[in-house]
Amino acid sequence: MTDLKKPVLVTGASGNLGRMLAAALSARGYRLRLTDIKAFPDDLPAGAEFVTTDLGDEAAMLRIADDCQAILHFGGVSVDRPFEEVMDPNIRGLYHIYEAARRAGARVLFASSNHSIGFHSRPGPGEPKLDAPGSFRPDSFYGLSKAYGELMGRLYWDKHGVENLNVRIGSCFPEPVDARMLATWLSFDDLARLCIAFLEAPKVGHAVVWGASNNPATYWGADHRARIGWEPLDSSEAFRAKVEKLLSGNPVAERYQGGAYCANDYSRASPSPRDAFALD
């Protein structure tokens, strides 16, 4: 699909991931239109422009996405926050992104999250990994907003033909910082390669990819990565000795894939069952 003459819109561009992607995509020769509610803190990469925009401003989002070939949507609330803080940027704001994509004829990469499936139990030795399709089990209002975002993509693909890739990001940091990230870590370089593969894939349709590097300890199984020709090259194993003993000490956080987000405000007297529809 790549058309280097048409810009790629990156939302959330002033955050750590947005800044990294701006540099990587610029080096690849893409024209970039960067936006965030906060000012861009670095020098702009070659071929990039920055516009301060609020995701809640529909008219502004429609203007900024006009003539773009793709939207890499990393904007919005990116951590566990109360519902009222999540609702406007992550619910209404995402609608504005998809309406802008529909009108511009653009495809969308949605930065989803492992927290959309966080209340799945971690697999034990020999147990099957979690496959991507149909596996929502959010662990927070933030995770719930990501499940909503993936379903928004499903709707816009079925109703309007808007291609979209939902990347369930695990833990995207320069390196793992605790034992859980041996399963969930996504390197910056692997994320950049994933975004480039998305932009350059001939067809995407509606797809879900686990946003994790090539980690032997992963919780996750099948997804649609072959559709865009992406395979992660990095691995958390290089950091195992450094982090494998760094556990949370919280039994709820250690039981579920979403970690600490599952433990926040947790009030059950006993753990929820592995089967989301089972009786206690």
3-class state of residue 103 by DSSP: helix
In a domain, 278, yes or no: no
Residue type at 259 in one-letter notation: G
What sign does the dihedral 215-220-222-225 (CA atoms) show?
A: negative
- Per the structure, the count of domains in the chain is 1
SS3 readout for 191-258: HHHHHHHHHHCCCCCEEEEEECCCCCCCCECCCCHHHCCCCCCCCHHHHHHHHCCCCCCCHHHHHECC
In a domain, 271, yes or no: no
Dump pLDDT digits (tens) for 77-109.
988 899 899 999 999 999 999 999 999 999 999
- Looking at the domain assignment, is residue 35 inside a domain? yes
56-85 residue pLDDT tens: 999 999 999 999 999 999 999 988 899 899
Distance CA 35, CA 164 (A): 19
Active site (catalytic) residues: 142
Cα separation, 111 vs 113, whole angstroms: 7
pLDDT in tens, 177-190: 999 999 999 999 99
Cβ-count burial of 1 within 10 angstroms (0-12 exposed, 13-18 middle, 19+ buried)?
Answer: middle
Residue 270 lies in a domain: no
208, pLDDT greater than 80: yes
Q: What is the pLDDT of residue 223?
A: 97
Asked whether residue 273 is domain-assigned, the answer is no
Q: Residue 172 is which amino acid?
A: C
- Residue-number span of the structural domain to which 233 is assigned: 8-263
Which CATH number do you get for residue 232? Answer: 3.40.50.720
Task: State the burial class of residue 270 (Cβ atoms within 10 Å of its Cβ: 0-12, 13-18, 19+).
Answer: exposed
> Measuring CA to CA, how many Å separate 83 from each of 24, 56, 156?
33, 16, 24
Contact 99, 58 (CB under 8 A): yes
Provide the pLDDT confidence category of residue 5 given band limits of 50, 70 and 90. confident
Residues 6 or more apart whose Cβ sits within 8 Å of residue 177: 171, 243, 246
Mean pLDDT, rounded, of the chain: 96
In a domain, 92, yes or no: yes
| Structural domain includes residue 118 | yes
- Residues in the chain, how many? 280
Whether residue 112 lies inside any domain: the answer is yes
- Note the pLDDT tens digit of each residue in 143-174: 999 999 999 999 999 999 999 999 999 999 99
3-state SS class at 132: coil
